[in-house]
């Protein structure tokens, strides 16, 4: 398995934003030094749930301060970006990083309606906008004199400059919140990002993903490559002992989940809250049993063995949970890199 750090830092008040952003840059540098494969960046707006807010700008900062680690989005909310501006930004970061960017895309949050309102976007159109943007991005990176006449954008692009460093273009991977979108990626022969699910659901999805790829006519080599390039999300906190992990990690996890819901209750309208309640909630994310792996290195190894047996390609690990102190998260990062990861692959770095 590959292992990565999901850099998703919470800042509860505007006065704390600067410190959290600075600490997040330090965490990125530490992740690079420890040999993690990827730093994944989120995108959330207006609520402090993701302090750096804009993954493209923050990716450029990380690219300038790291040497080896790849930088991915989990995910950039495509409805909130102009596709040509985004294509240019990715091309620039791809050059700055010398080809270390992974373009993770998605429709955007299913519950934070206020994020769409802040950008003047209808959330009901977000999925169709995602599909149109995906098509535009690939052609903008690979086609001269490109013209696009779509539902949301009408574009005439002589040539994108700078051109992307990776050829023909940086890898693009889509986040899938449900089974059908996962199977769509399988039929297209593409890897995917899986949101936080129980191990049981993860196994079912991965088995169906492999089967759907084979049924669509993709050969065994393609199936294996796409599985290796797919990632699943887990919240993990490692401490020297199980007792310490329980005392530090569990309260931070519970506080993080509560803060997220408080923001939704506070910032969504009454009708949006009703729409949120009608959707399937991420119970695995809220459940301590499924939503948090915590303990000593030995205990965390035991929990990760399930994922190893499932055969997932990589794990997107959210280490700094909520308002967790930086030093605690950094110690967890180090323990995982030194005492957990070597049990599942050697060497840690690709």
pTM of the model: 0.95
Model confidence over 190-236: pLDDT tens digits?
A: 999 999 999 999 999 999 999 999 999 999 999 999 999 999 999 99
Q: What is the pLDDT of residue 280?
A: 53
The answer to whether position 349 is within a domain reads no
Model confidence over 286-313: pLDDT tens digits?
A: 899 999 999 999 999 999 999 999 999 9
Q: Any residues with CB less than 8 A from the CB of 118 and at least 6 apart, and which?
A: 45, 46
CATH of the domain at 309: 3.20.20.30
Q: What is the pLDDT of residue 177?
A: 87
The answer to whether position 348 is within a domain reads no
Q: What is the pLDDT of residue 348?
A: 43
Handedness of CA 231, 233, 235, 241 (dihedral sign): negative
Q: Any residues with CB less than 8 A from the CB of 348 and at least 6 apart, and which?
A: 3, 34, 35, 36, 37, 337, 341, 342
Q: Running along the chain, 350 residues long, what does each successive block of 10 average in pLDDT?
A: 97 97 98 98 97 98 98 97 98 98 94 96 96 97 97 97 98 95 97 96 97 98 97 98 98 96 95 77 80 98 96 97 97 98 69
Looking at the structure of the chain, the number of domains it has is 1
Domain containing 260 equals 2-343
Residue 133 CA: distances (Å) to CA of 10, 103, 121, 172, 183: 28, 12, 15, 12, 20
Q: What is the pLDDT of residue 349?
A: 42
Q: Are 307 and 1 in contact (CB under 8 A)?
A: yes
The answer to whether position 350 is within a domain reads no
Q: What is the pLDDT of residue 278?
A: 64
């Amino acid at each position: 398995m590959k292992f990565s750090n999901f850099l998703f830092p919470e800042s509860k008040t505007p006065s704390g934003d600067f410190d959290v952003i600075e600490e997040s840059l330090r965490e990125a540098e530490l992740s690079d030094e420890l040999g993690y494969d990827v730093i994944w960046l989120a995108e959330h707006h207006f609520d402090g749930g993701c302090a750096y807010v804009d993954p493209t700008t923050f990716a450029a900062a990380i690219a300038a301060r790291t040497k080896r680690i790849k930088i991915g989005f989990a995910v950039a909310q495509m409805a909130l970006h102009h596709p040509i501006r985004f294509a240019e930004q990715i091309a620039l970061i791809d050059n700055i990083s010398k080809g270390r960017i992974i373009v993770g895309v998605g429709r955007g949050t299913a519950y934070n309606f206020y994020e769409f309102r802040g950008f003047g976007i209808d959330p009901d159109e977000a999925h169709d906008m995602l599909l149109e943007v995906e098509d535009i991005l690939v052609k903008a990176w690979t086609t001269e004199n490109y013209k696009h006449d779509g539902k949301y954008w009408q574009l005439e692009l002589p040539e994108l400059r700078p051109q992307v460093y990776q050829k023909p273009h940086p890898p693009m991977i889509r986040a899938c919140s449900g089974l059908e979108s996962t199977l769509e990626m399988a039929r297209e022969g593409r890897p995917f990002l899986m949101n936080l699910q129980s191990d049981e659901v993860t196994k079912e999805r991965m088995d169906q993903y492999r089967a759907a790829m084979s049924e669509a006519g993709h050969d065994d080599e393609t199936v294996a490559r796409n599985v290796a390039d797919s990632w699943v999300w887990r919240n993990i906190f490692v401490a020297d002992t199980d007792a310490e992990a329980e005392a530090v990690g569990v309260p931070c996890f519970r506080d993080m989940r509560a803060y997220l819901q408080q923001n939704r209750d506070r910032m969504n309208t009454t009708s949006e809250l009703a729409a949120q309640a009608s959707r399937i909630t991420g119970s695995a994310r809220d459940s301590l049993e499924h939503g948090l792996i915590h303990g000593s290195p030995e205990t965390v190894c035991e929990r990760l063995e399930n994922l190893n047996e499932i055969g997932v390609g990589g794990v997107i690990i959210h280490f700094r949970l909520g308002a967790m102190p930086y030093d605690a998260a950094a110690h967890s990062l180090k323990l995982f890199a030194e005492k957990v990861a070597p049990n599942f692959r050697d060497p840690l770095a690709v």
